[in-house]
Structure 1
Amino acid sequence: MDEHRIERRPYGDRAWPPPEAEGLPPSARLYGAPAPPSRVRVPPWLRRALVFALALAAGVALVAGSVAFVVSLLHAPGPQVDVADPAAGVSYPLPQGWRRGTVPPVTGFTSVATAGGSALVMTRPGDSVAVSGPRAATLDLADLYGRLLLHGDTVDVVDDRPITVGGYSGHSRALRASYTDVVNQPSYLRVTLLTKDDRSVVVLGLAQPDDPARRAEIDAVVRGLR
């Protein structure tokens, strides 16, 4: 009778893979399940340095935000300023950046507003135009103030038209003066004569150097007159 030799299995009754390895990848079955990472301890001095850095960054951001807010306030457009001229019986708004003046530089004018040293607007009571009419009177005034203020080597008429603003009607003429020297830049002069009932008002705008933006601002003052 043959005897069968029964060899003992090296693992005895242990099942393979072990139950705790179920669901793990093959590498984990060989080397074991990955252990959770150990908690990294941050040295106290490093923790204090991180807190200080975060506080410093927050402070810098706060200061930068405050500076930006102040700068935005400085550059924000201010309230519109009006100039009142009781002697001429009119008032007019000023464009941004313009300021009321105190003493008009030309005799007879009773109000003045300036834009730095590059432009101005003045008003004064006008004379009766019942005989000559507003256009003829405006041409005479433009010739007078052109010779008084421009002193140009050449003076050209760049605009001449009737105008109606704020219940007034009248005429407006604009001149441009050029100079042969290399120092003086072209100048711009607008003279407007407005009448209502039995009174009139003269509005004079001057810009040196001549500039489209300054022309537009002077025209805006004339259109806003009331």
Structure 2
Amino acid sequence: MAFVVVLALLVVGGGGAGAWWFLSDRGGDGPGASEAEGLVIEDSESGISYTLPEGWEELASEDLIDAFTSSASTATEIGGASVFAFSGEAMTDEEMSMSISVIAGENSEYFYPYAEDRQILLSEPTEVDGQEAYRFTWLVSTADEEPMYGHILHILTDDNRSVFLMGIVHPDDPDLRTEIDAVISGATLI
């Protein structure tokens, strides 16, 4: 259980500031940014592969926050979306669903500290390349701000690791939500 808390703190504390930058500062001209057109990211450090929609940008590895092993983002006139990959130690079946909701909750609190409404949209076990996995989607909102949508996938691997791919859309946008869902649903292990 301590791993869950440490991982959540790493994602929120170590990665949160960078994640917020991805969502709010979308010039696309930053160091290491490259336009992706259906680019497949093969994150050998986490052991996950995912495909970016056209127009997304991958962040160069030297620009990543330590908690993340790969990341990419896109922006529209009204907001943006980002995905982040990271990994950790394996967990038991019981810890799996709890860890994913803790990470989702901690990130929601970081990005949306005064949310008045928190909705779990999906919380279900799944499978990725024959490995046990769990996916979780959520929405947080307040009367004064546009809602934020999140989607996270947690995969348990045969080599005693947990692999995560998380996507966030802020403000929530149906098109970007569809892109995030497609990226995460299409993830595979490498």
TM-score, scaled relative to structure 2: 0.69
- Select the structure of larger CA radius of gyration: 1
Tell me by how many angstroms 1:165 deviates.
Answer: 2.4
Secondary structure of the residue aligned to 1:214 is helix
Q: Comparing 209-218 with 118-127, which one deviates more in the overlay? A: 209-218
Deviations 1:179-203 (A, max 9, x none): 222xx31110112211121221111
> Which contiguous aligned blocks of 4+ residues in structure 1 show a shift greater than 6 angstroms?
none
2:169 corresponds in structure 1 to 207
Task: Measure, in 2, the Cα distance between the counterparts of 1:121 and 1:135.
Answer: 20
1:146 partner SS: helix
Pairwise CA RMSD: 2.0
Q: What is the CA deviation profile of residues 106-158 of structure 1, one whole-angstrom value per residue up to 9, with x for unaligned ones?
A: x5111101012500000001332126342122122222222222322322111
1:134 corresponding residue in structure 2 = 96
Q: Is the 8 A contact 1:160 1:172 kept in 2?
A: yes
- Tell me the number of residue pairs that the alignment of Structure 1 and Structure 2 aligns: 146
How far does residue 168 in structure 1 lie from its aligned partner after superposition?
3.2
Name the residue aligned to 1:95: 53
Q: Distance in 2 between matches of 1:104 and 1:154?
A: 31
More strand, by proportion: 2
- C-alpha contact 1:157 1:174 (8 A) present in aligned 2: yes
> What is the rounded CA distance, in whole Å, between the counterparts of 2:116 and 2:104 in structure 1?
16
Q: Secondary structure at the match of 1:219?
A: helix
Runs of 5+ in structure 1 lacking a partner?
A: 1-77
1:82-125 per-residue CA deviation (whole Å, 9 max, x = no partner) reads: 112121011111112211113346x5111101012500000001
- Is the CA contact (8 Å cut-off) linking 2:43 and 2:49 kept in structure 1? yes
| Letter of the 2:140 counterpart | A
1:115–1:130 CA distance, 2 compared to 1 (3 A): same
Classify 1:94/1:166 alpha carbon distance in 2 versus 1 (closer, same or farther; 3 Å). Answer: farther
**Equivalent residue, structure 1, for 2:11:** none
Q: TM-score w.r.t. structure 1 length? A: 0.59
Quick one: structure 1 residues 175 and 194, their matched pair in 2 at CA, closer, same or farther if it must change by over 3 Å? same
1:213 Cα deviation (Å)?
1.7
The residue number in structure 2 matching 1:178 is: 141
Q: Are 2:178 and 1:216 aligned? A: yes
Q: Quick one: percent identity of the two aligned structures?
A: 27
Q: Which runs of 5+ in 2 are unaligned?
A: 1-35
* Matched AA of 1:89: G
Counterpart amino acid of 2:127? T
SS at match of 1:185: strand
In the TM superposition, residue 79 of structure 1 has moved relative to its aligned partner by 4.9
Measured in 2, the distance between the counterparts of 1:141 and 1:166 equals: 23
Q: C-alpha separation between the residues in 2 aligned to 1:205 and 1:154? A: 19
SS in 2 for 1:91: strand
Higher relative contact order at CA 8 Å, sep ≥6: structure 1 or structure 2? 2
Bigger Cα displacement from structure 2, 111-120 vs 142-151: 142-151
1:163 correspondence with 2:126: yes
